[in-house]
Amino acid sequence: MAKVTVITMGSVREALGWSTKTVEVKGSVKDLLLSLQTKDGRTAYDLMVEPDGTKDRYLIRWVRGDLRPSNLVYPRDLELQLEDGDRIWLLDNPPVIIGG
């Protein structure tokens, strides 16, 4: 079992009902998302993921130690095996603004 810190922001925080939580999970990011319940009885996976990857309106960010943060976008990314101390950010994807 890995102890992982999960940080939520924006509409994900509103859906889950908390901002930061340390959870124990065995397995992958997908397993973690399936274990997190929303206030309306769904899972974070149901909220944030569709068959071809993360829904465009959401961002799943993974940080391990001093490694550069990575955005998890594709289904294969969600198979990343979690380790003690990993941090997962679940948040709204910031809009792209073009022009000036």
In the chain, how many domains are there?
1
Domain with 76, as residue range(s), is 2-92
User: 97 lies in a domain?
Assistant: no
Express each pLDDT in 36-71 by its tens digit: 999 999 999 999 999 888 898 899 999 998 888 899
Q: Is residue 80 part of a domain?
A: yes
Query: DSSP letter at 68?
Result: P
pLDDT tens, residue by residue, 9-36: 999 999 999 999 999 999 999 999 999 9
In CATH, what number is assigned to the domain containing residue 64? Answer: 3.10.20.30
* Residue 98 falls inside a structural domain: no
DSSP class of 85: T
pTM for this prediction:
0.89
The whole-number average pLDDT for the span 82-90 is 96
DSSP one-letter string for 15-80: HHT-SEEEEEE-SBHHHHHHHPBPTTS-BHHHHHEETTEE-TTEEEEEE-TTSPPEE--SGGGGGP
Evaluate whether residue 76 is within a structural domain.
yes
The dihedral over CA atoms of 12, 17, 40, 47, expressed in degrees to the nearest 10, equals 20
